[in-house]
Structure 1
Amino acid sequence: MSNTITVRPVETAADKKAFIDLGYRLNATDPNWVAPLRDEVKALLDPRKNPWFEHGEAQLFLAERGGRMVGRISAHLDHLALTQPVEQGMGPGTGNWGLMEAEDETVFQALIAHAEEWLRSKGMHRSLGPISLSVWDEPGLLTQGFDHSPTVMMGHNSPAYPGWIGRAGYLPAKSLLTYDLDITHEFPPLVQRIIQSGEKNSRIVIRKVDKSRFAEEAALILNILNDAWSDNWGFVPLSDSEIAHVGKKLKPIVFEDLIMVAEVEGEPVAFMITLPDLNEPLKPLKGSLFPFGWAKLLWWLRAPKVRTMRVPLMGVVKKLQASRLASQLAFMMIEYIRREAITKYGATRGEIGWVLDDNQGMRAIAETINSSLNREYVIYEKPL
């Protein structure tokens, strides 16, 4: 059997199916990997269903050896990212790669070389990855936290991959952190006093979202997000169609008492989104809703009981970010959601993230409520 590795672009429906299937095969023996629903992966790669393709373009590659598919990778450009300031991590000349899976390092090196060549052909002079496909999807490579399964919308990969990437000439550009929190205990007395002070302030209102006005509430939250995160490393604004798409995608796992909006003098200025860990019921389904997975999932969604809640997104409008009020609003929203998560959903732990490694404000909040670092994802860069 030949050991020659052939890397070729994905061109047909059969190629795309092979690209998707490979992820399931190569990760099947990892007890902590959670198989995503196949329809979700198909939709991610479908320009007709994923509005990222309105401002992005991608080329998928497959690696074959001895008649077997042994690896895959995407190379892609986000034209909105190309317009961002260079000092924020993206900017002109920066292309991306992601969705990487490989049987061994030789396969990986062949794949990354093809991805880099595609980026050069598009005029790129810097490679940044993994990002799959958008920075809002699954950015970064897991480098710490391999001993437990990821929570909803978080990635998981082989512990061999970071070494392979380093030997391909890549260096860390940014770390994305997640924090583990035991929510069964009250927060420290200092935090309780800050919360109580906020509750006495008539200017502050912390409210649940109204799911009967879902589209309006989703737009409000994501518009705060676009403002709050606009100076962050790696930020790429969400388009109107992406905002609508994210809202539709998240609606089945959105519960009113787990998402808070903070208002000051009637103006929405902050939000916190918390999601029950959908990976808990998804893991046994192994990526398929058939024959009975759909019924199990629908039953779970009627009244979810989970061990873990994840806080994937939180934001305070830019004009308040340097104020004491910002942390006060954050503590209030975290505490209100903590109470609901315990009493209604049976949760015992929370996960906050990801958090940029240089986001000192959010890291300080996480540490003040006695959470601990449990996972790290790294985005790498290399000049082309």
Structure 2
Amino acid sequence: MIEIYEVKTKKDIDDFTMLPFDLYKAKDNWVPPLISDYKKYIKGKTSSVNEVGESIMYLAKKDGKLAGRILVGLNEELNEYHGVRDSYFSQYECIDDPEVSKVLFDQASKWAKEHGSNLLKGPMSLPGGDDNRGFLLDNFDEPPMIQNVYNFKYYNDQVLDAGFSKYHDCYAFDGSPDKKVVDRYAKIIPYAMKKYKFRLDKFRLDKDGIKKDALDVSEVIKKGMPNNKDWVDLMPPSREEIDNIVAAAAPLADADFIYIARNEKDEPIAFNIAVPDYNQVLKKMNGKKNPFAILKFLYNKRKINQMRVFVLFVVPEYRNKGVTQAIYFKIMDNAIKKGYKKIEGSTIWDYNMPMLNDILKAGAKISKTYRVYQKEI
């Protein structure tokens, strides 16, 4: 017998949080989140960036045993910006049982329809986030990088069986350090920077510098975000959201991997955000934040040897002028000097052609595909 019910109590939250710890206990490539942080995250209490908004969480049991979970909600700000009423689902986990998965997806569809939606998409990030996007479609032999997804391969079958179809794919790219590429870029990049009159400045992580650089990031996004509404999964973040993102990233960041490009008038024209892959450390902590786990974090932090590039924005008038390649060159050059073995750029929507073209020109190759699905309801 299958039972589905709303998450309401503290025990329900605990069960929702801990279900994947049981499901993936035999999977070496799954990375457990920090339990206390995750509970805040799903309740929208981490920051104003991750306000969950109108949403609901469900748990499913089969024969009295926990068997699946799902979160479904409305991203009100995004819907208003694009003039739609779409719902999203997120945080999906389930045993390999099509009956359980169908009950979960049917319940999510029912909630979405009752709240005025005619389309349900997912898996998606919680509002304001840039994580948990899509089901991993391939390359199940590697662990995910920080804030990326790992899931069972059968999830893609379960969502199709529930009546969903492909919406869009998001890609991860392997742009790992290559001395030959760096040496080649070292001859080309200075020429492009001189011709198009721009420079690269390291992002300042000190208290005063971070405020100024966050303002420049905001300016680049305003100019670089498409004015049309074809990118229906994105909207320009507010200044408050940018400040929160920068503040959250700063303690984890390394200034050798984050740059702001400025032109001869000192105007910001591009920026990137890259963070060391702390999943390499989280894997060893098993969701805990006790003193012993923190000691593990501090010890293993020094051994991180890969990173994820989350974002790279270039204003339209400076695209195809070597700005993206200049930033990649600096990141790769510093990565080699610091002993990094892998760089991943992710996740890029399949309709973001400017970014896809730039990263392919830089020599990166698609390493993982994450698929987002949709269902008319």
Does the alignment reach a TM-score above 0.5?
yes
How far 1:182 moved relative to its partner? 3.0
- Give a deviation string over 1:19-42, Cα, whole Å, max 9, x none: 111122112211111111112211
Structure-to-structure mapping, 1:55-134, within 5 angstroms: 56-85=53-82, 91-103=83-95, 104-134=97-127
Q: Supply the AA of the counterpart residue of 1:309.
A: M
Alignment partner for residue 307 of structure 1, among 305, 308, 319?
Answer: 305
2:222 counterpart of 1:208: no
| C-alpha spacing 1:48/1:309, structure 2 compared with 1 (3 Å) | closer
Residues 80 and 237, structure 1, Cα contact 8 Å, conserved in 2: no
Measured in 2, the distance between the counterparts of 1:226 and 1:101 equals 36
- Give a deviation string over 1:168-215, Cα, whole Å, max 9, x none: 111111110011123132328875554121343483110101111224
User: TM-score of the superposition, structure 2-length normalised?
Assistant: 0.91
Structure-to-structure mapping, 1:112-191, within 5 angstroms: 112-134=105-127, 136-187=130-181, 191=185
Q: CA RMSD in A?
A: 2.2
User: TM-score of the superposition, structure 1-length normalised?
Assistant: 0.89
Alignment partner for residue 38 of structure 1, among 35, 39, 44?
Answer: 35
Identity of aligned residues (%): 25
| C-alpha spacing 1:354/1:79, structure 2 compared with 1 (3 Å) | same
Measured in 1, the distance between the counterparts of 2:352 and 2:341 equals 26
Measured in 1, the distance between the counterparts of 2:331 and 2:280 equals 19
Residues 188 and 369, structure 1, Cα contact 8 Å, conserved in 2: no
Residues 261 and 268, structure 1, Cα contact 8 Å, conserved in 2: yes
- Give a deviation string over 1:35-73, Cα, whole Å, max 9, x none: 111122112122343425657211000112222211100
Residues 249 and 275, structure 2, Cα contact 8 Å, conserved in 1: no
- Give a deviation string over 1:200-256, Cα, whole Å, max 9, x none: 348311010111122442343255235423453510332344333322322221111
| C-alpha spacing 1:50/1:118, structure 2 compared with 1 (3 Å) | farther
Structure-to-structure mapping, 1:1-384, within 5 angstroms: 4-52=1-49, 54=51, 56-85=53-82, 91-103=83-95, 104-134=97-127, 136-187=130-181, 191-201=185-195, 203-212=197-206, 213-230=209-226, 232-265=231-264, 266-301=266-301, 304-317=302-315, 319-320=316-317, 323-325=319-321, 328-344=322-338, 346-384=339-377
Gaps of 5+ in 2: none
Q: Supply the AA of the counterpart residue of 1:253.
A: L
Gaps of 5+ in 1: 86-90
| C-alpha spacing 1:33/1:48, structure 2 compared with 1 (3 Å) | closer
Q: Supply the AA of the counterpart residue of 2:85.
A: G
Measured in 1, the distance between the counterparts of 2:52 and 2:44 equals 10
- Give a deviation string over 1:333-382, Cα, whole Å, max 9, x none: 111111111213x1022111112223333223333333221100011111
| C-alpha spacing 1:311/1:157, structure 2 compared with 1 (3 Å) | same
Between stretches 181-190 and 113-122, larger displacement belongs to 181-190
| C-alpha spacing 1:151/1:260, structure 2 compared with 1 (3 Å) | same
Measured in 1, the distance between the counterparts of 2:211 and 2:262 equals 19
